Structure 1
Amino acid sequence: MALPRRNFLAAAAATALVPPAIAALPKDRGPAVINALGGLFDPNQPAEDESGAEVAGTPRTPIERRVIEDALASGTIAINNTLGYVAGPMDPFEFTVSEIATWDWRIRHHSDRLLKVLTAGDILRARAEGKLGIIYGFQNALMMGDRVARADLFSDLGVRVFQLTYNVANPVGDGAMAPQNRGLTPFGRQLVERLNANRVMVDLSHSGERTCLDAARLSKAPISINHTGCRALTDLPRNKTDEELRLVASRGGFVGIYFMPFLNPRSVATAEDVVRHIDHAVNVCGEDHVGIGTDGGTTAIANMVRYRTHIRKQIADRKAAGIGAAGENPDTLPFVEELQGPDQFRTLAGLLRERGYREGRIEKILSLNFLRYARTVWGG
């Protein structure tokens, strides 16, 4: 059920406190990482459907063992894994239900290494058991059709993160690339209330500014922006204004910084750009509300020339489908080259130390802040 207002205010006031059970994460395997938006895929075998623009179905195939082991070797204990409809010609509802079934099958197939996350406690359990927690998340709301009650269905199927829009407008509100910058629609307001009632995270990544501000003000539970950058540093629509960041944090929410080209005006981001955006977000939001949502995986690319050829086609396909973002160009890479592979988070932690960040703050950014936020929304 929805959080009563007095409980929400109490949760928001307590955001500087880390629950004891969360602070007690074992450290014998290095710093734990929760990726607020990531993925389990092998970039060395790129599929034509990575953009979500052309895919017609999801094959029921296992995940490559190396991909899982790379994620675990990176210190990752949980990933918000995008599934369901993003864009393309398929039926949004049917495709989304099919993908949920496929991922349920994959988790059963890899039950020794993967664990489906329904509560914050499941993330702690994954860490204790040496497994990777898989959080089911959406990046669009088109699978809802015009039926707000479908939020109940998807919650029952285990979806725990619901991003309201992708880059363009949908029946819920405007995305980051929608020129009108309209806010939540009446249907969007109903959906936010229904997601609150089901204790599902409301994610405003990819949203337009007014949609984000409307949702943050309306929601009875804290909301998140799971993968973004700071527009004050790089003025691109996929990044969030200080007003958005500050409002989300002031209401107890979470902001994840991505490893994406939009962190740099030239659309070629460096590790230093990631650190700058994290630092700005911490200054705006406070150190208890910032984490990481890389928007990428943890398996390194072996053949960059081949991969760049694939990415150029993917960016062209995204532009043709109308879902590309400002800042994407033929030379864009959807990651930071210095932050690839299983060592990416250890490299980032080292750069944050050089910036003067103490270990406690680094742990918050890598995992504890998302855990705190997850416990507020999901329980457990």
Structure 2
Amino acid sequence: MTDTPMIINALGQLDNPNAPASVDAAAQLNPSSEQLTIDKKTLADAHASGLTAVNITLGYTMGDLPPYEHTLHEIAVWDALVRDHSADLTKVLTAADIRRARAEGRIGVIYGFQNAVAVGDDTGRIATFADLGVRVVQLTYNQANHIGDGSMAPENRGLSDFGHRVVDALNERHVMVDLSHSGERTCLDAAAYSRQPVSVNHTGCRALADLPRNKTDEELRLVASRGGFVGIYFMPFLSLSGHARAEDVVDHIAHAVNVCGEDHVGIGTDGTVTSIDDLDAYRAHLAEHVALRREAGVGAAGERADTLPFVIDLRGVNQFRELIRLLEARGYGSRRIEKILGTNFLDYAERVWTPVTGSSRS
């Protein structure tokens, strides 16, 4: 493939993980967006990678901070970051904004949550978040909340009564319902109930690696059948060994395409473009961070002190070009690769973010 396709990362990070502030933040359970390092290297690497747009995580995910207030603060932080780097970044509110970002040589920043706890008991807050530019809301993290069960919740209870109201409110405001990290029953319930297509923005396939963070074929098939989107991550959960390689990413993409069809699969790396330079130093602190997550009850099966939270041979500014090369070697043509790298997410965004007349629940 000669021309770089549109690359949309359905879940990723903008950060220089080698900067001192980011190194300190990585050791924490719930670092603030203010601790991210969006410097010249971060932006240069993102541009060099060919990245068009990325769904970043902001707001409350876990920890002791007040969820609603912290989330409002994080949105303001990101508004300032985008404003301060307006030559390189642009806030995404519509699918057209992603196209414009590509045309202007900027990187589209999509505001997303990885936990909906900040909604509290007031679904009206979803309108507030939508008005502030939030376009993706993941219902749960690994643990259970009042909306549904996460992938590590043993009860697998499904979407709560309040969770149904949350999905209604997200549908009403045309915000993506992201079922990454959710428990199986919560995922199936939400995908079946939502009147708009839903997504699993960063996951793997449980048929290839039977770990809770990966989705079953039943989940994948239902999400796709309703017009949704599935993003495959570059994470250790792609292999039972915990040491996932680039070929594992391709295997999971291929399986998802076989289950969902080629129009519903993309990428959600769950990582940065800028690589960690000193892996030895990083590994030295990794065990402490994994233990901290386990003690807080937010770790996932498959997280260990020796499992890097990225794919060792699919990182850095060439990660997307390397993925293209591997997909080509697997026999994928340019049109299918373009879909997986970006246009499937763009089409899904068009389906969800564009208001449709007469879409209220009957």
**TM-score (norm: length of structure 2):** 0.95
Within 5 Å, give how 1:217-366 maps onto structure 2: 217-366=192-341
Matched, 1:147 2:115: no
Q: Aligned equivalents of 1:35 and 1:304: distance in 2?
A: 24
Within 5 Å, give how 1:91-102 maps onto structure 2: 91-102=66-77
Amino acid at match of 1:268: H
Matched, 1:201 2:176: yes
Q: Aligned equivalents of 2:178 and 2:99: distance in 1?
A: 22
Q: Is the partner of 1:35 in helix, strand or coil?
A: strand
Q: Aligned equivalents of 1:48 and 1:313: distance in 2?
A: 13
Query: Cα offset for 1:76?
Result: 0.7
Counterpart for residue 53 of structure 2? 78
Maintained 8 Å contact 1:265/1:327: yes
Maintained 8 Å contact 2:149/2:158: yes
Maintained 8 Å contact 1:43/1:300: yes
Amino acid at match of 1:301: I
Q: Aligned equivalents of 2:353 and 2:27: distance in 1?
A: 29
Matched, 1:110 2:85: yes
Counterpart for residue 20 of structure 1? none
Counterpart for residue 8 of structure 1? none
Maintained 8 Å contact 1:40/1:63: yes
Q: Is the partner of 1:71 in helix, strand or coil?
A: helix
Maintained 8 Å contact 1:222/1:252: yes
Maintained 8 Å contact 1:52/1:85: no
Q: Deviations over 1:188-237 (max 9, x none)?
A: 00000000000000000000000000000110100000000000000000
**TM-score (norm: length of structure 1):** 0.90
Matched, 1:36 2:7: no
Q: Aligned equivalents of 2:27 and 2:200: distance in 1?
A: 20
Maintained 8 Å contact 1:62/1:106: no
Q: Aligned equivalents of 2:154 and 2:318: distance in 1?
A: 39
Q: Aligned equivalents of 2:336 and 2:11: distance in 1?
A: 20
Counterpart for residue 378 of structure 1? 353
Q: Deviations over 1:265-299 (max 9, x none)?
A: 01110000000000000000000000000000100
Q: Aligned equivalents of 1:86 and 1:260: distance in 2?
A: 19
Amino acid at match of 1:367: G
Aligned length: 353
Q: Deviations over 1:313-360 (max 9, x none)?
A: 211111111100000000011110111111000000000111000110
Q: Is the partner of 2:274 in helix, strand or coil?
A: coil
Maintained 8 Å contact 1:174/1:181: yes
Maintained 8 Å contact 2:203/2:233: yes
Amino acid at match of 1:42: N
What CA RMSD, in Å, does the superposition of the two structures yield over aligned residues?
A: 1.5
Q: Deviations over 1:37-69 (max 9, x none)?
A: 0001122234444476244x5538762121111
Maintained 8 Å contact 2:15/2:36: no
Gaps of 5+ in 2: 356-362
Counterpart for residue 53 of structure 1? 29
Q: Is the partner of 1:59 in helix, strand or coil?
A: helix
